[in-house]
Amino acid sequence: MRGFDQTGYAVFGADPAVVRWADAAHAAALKLTADPALRETNLRHGDTWFVGVNALPNAPDGSVDGVALAGDWQQHVSCPPVWHRAQVSVIYPGYPQQDVDESDAAHRFRVRRHAAHVDGLLPEGSQRRRFLREPHAFILGLPLNRSNAAPLMVWPGSHHIMGQAFRDMIGRRDPGSVDLTDGYQAARRVVFDQIAPIALHATPGQAILLHRHLLHGVAAWSENDRVAPEGRLVAYFRPEFSGGAEEWLCAN
């Protein structure tokens, strides 16, 4: 794919197949985000973010209410035999407010650095040390409604810096056994010093593809941002490599 290897991301043009899927997923997402029990367990940051991990009731083939998961993006990834239930991430006006259990430093990072992260490195223990627990093959974002508010932010080319840092830290060891925290944070600082983030905007019918090592996050809500009362909705798929952590570390 032209430019993807260099930048680590691609935004695909509108595709009728993706429009149909996004319409079906949008209807399903509105039902689940209105469920009081799901809202109770999924709302974060002063009720400005519905996390929605594994919330979308898509079928194992990725379809929603019989509408196939399809589009031009399929030509550029190795689709899994079974799709996990997609995340339904919803951002509401005022994002991010500071939660009572969130430190001032963590909140500042979320606002100033867009909570920049690489997916799949999960915090563990009281010290929240980061370990690779979800070896994603790629990240696929599918907008479910029209909004330019609180956009997805990416650091173009950062997957090269982050990927090399992971390989240097892990070496020949089992990737899942290595505490990546310090090296991960150091590599992020290198990215911040060298690369300016950009916003990725897309509408229903488009798709956003991210390299698994690309540093990315979500911008804070701007006073000029506008969106329907339902919030800004995006569905995310993050299928894992069949080869696990070793493939996550070394694949292109």
Cα dihedral 51, 131, 158, 248 in deg (nearest 10): -100
Q: Which residue range forms the structural domain that includes residue 74?
A: 4-250
Most distant CA atoms of the chain, gap in Å: 50
Per-residue pLDDT of 90-99, as tens digits, reads 999 999 999 9
Number of domains into which the chain is organized: 1
What is the full per-residue pLDDT of the chain (252 aa) written as tens digits? Answer: 779 999 999 999 999 999 999 999 999 999 999 999 999 999 999 999 999 999 999 999 999 999 999 999 999 999 999 999 999 999 999 999 999 999 999 999 999 999 999 999 999 999 999 999 999 999 999 999 999 999 999 999 999 999 999 999 999 999 999 999 999 999 999 999 999 999 999 999 999 999 999 999 999 999 888 888 999 999 999 999 999 999 999 988
Per-residue pLDDT of 128-148, as tens digits, reads 999 999 999 999 999 999 999
Bridge partner residues of 209 (DSSP) = 10, 140
- Look up the CATH number of the domain holding residue 96: 2.60.120
* Tokens matching residue 53: 């991990």
Residue 102: strand, helix, or coil: coil
Burial readout 95-114 (b: 16 or more C-beta within 10 A, e: otherwise): bbeebeeeeeeebebbeebb
Q: What is the DSSP letter of 8?
A: S
| Region at 155 (left for phi over 0; alpha for psi -120 to 50; beta for the rest) | beta
CB 75 within 8 A of CB 2: no
Compute the distance between CA of residue 54 and CA of residue 204 in angstroms, rounded to an integer.
20
- Give this prediction's pTM: 0.97
